Amino acid sequence: MALSPLAQRFVLHFGEMGSRWGINRTVGQIYALLYVSPAPLNADQIAEALGFSRSNVSMGLKELESWRLTRVQHLPGDRREYFATPDDVWAIFRTLAEERRKREVDPTLTMLRDALIEAPTSDDDAHVQARMREMHDLIDLVTTWFGDVQRLESSTLQQLMRLGAKVVKLFEFKDRVGSGAALRGRSASAPAKVS
């Protein structure tokens, strides 16, 4: 199975980006290949297309399954497993965000909650706890909001994100106008400087 130059470029780029996202290059390339493939692929086809050993492909597929980013299919008359990604890109986004939350954010929240239960033994510890509480409250607020957003239908989520961009522009405009009005008000009441 030969990749087109366009598909190959995407697969190679995704592999390079994977290392920045916390997955290895092999896993990133396997996922990218499955994502752009018009049909589910078995492990042998993946190994051939990417030039990887069968064992590397098997390990990569296991990692992707642990992230719930692939689904296994069986074809009639074929005992091999075939792998595909979800069709809905929003479902992929939701799954990836949920898995990252479970692996990265939840342990931090647990640590912060445990630390905030302890009685501070010094003024320094009280200061540390106050800062930790700020971080806990921010992370908790963001994860609660994100959990609410995760439950929205894909079409509603798209509308919300488009609306979010408009709201940001509105607040940026309001801030610019407000700052300008504040400056005008200050300059009107401030005495003129004589040079």
Spell out the domain ranges in the chain. 5-84, 89-185
Res 107 pLDDT > 80: yes
Res 179: pLDDT: 62
Res 169: pLDDT: 82
- Which residue has tokens 């595909």? 84
Domain 5-84 has CATH 3.30.70.100: no
Res 165 pLDDT > 90: no
Res 194: pLDDT: 46
Res 180 pLDDT > 70: no
Angular region, 102: left φ>0, alpha ψ -120 to 50, beta rest: alpha
SS3 of residue 81 by DSSP: strand
Res 104: pLDDT: 87
Q: In what order do the strands lie in the sheet with 41-42?
A: 41-42, 81-84, 71-74
Res 195: pLDDT: 42
> Chain-wide mean pLDDT for the chain?
86
40-55 per-position pLDDT tens digit: 999 999 999 999 999 9
Provide the residue type at 47 as one letter: A
Closest CA to 29 of 44, 48, 8, 43: 8
* CA 190 – CA 5 distance, rounded (Å): 66
Res 189 pLDDT > 70: no
4-52 per-position pLDDT tens digit: 899 999 999 989 888 777 788 999 999 999 999 999 999 999 999 999 9
pLDDT band with cut points at 50, 70 and 90 for residue 177:
confident
Report the pLDDT averaged over residues 157-179: 79
Q: Is the pTM of this model over 0.95?
A: no
In terms of pLDDT, which residue wins out, 165 or 74? 74
* CA 25 – CA 47 distance, rounded (Å): 14
Res 171: pLDDT: 81
**Three-state SS string across 13-70, please?**
HHHHHHHHHCCCHHHHHHHHHHHHCCCCEEHHHHHHHHCCCHHHHHHHHHHHHHCCCC
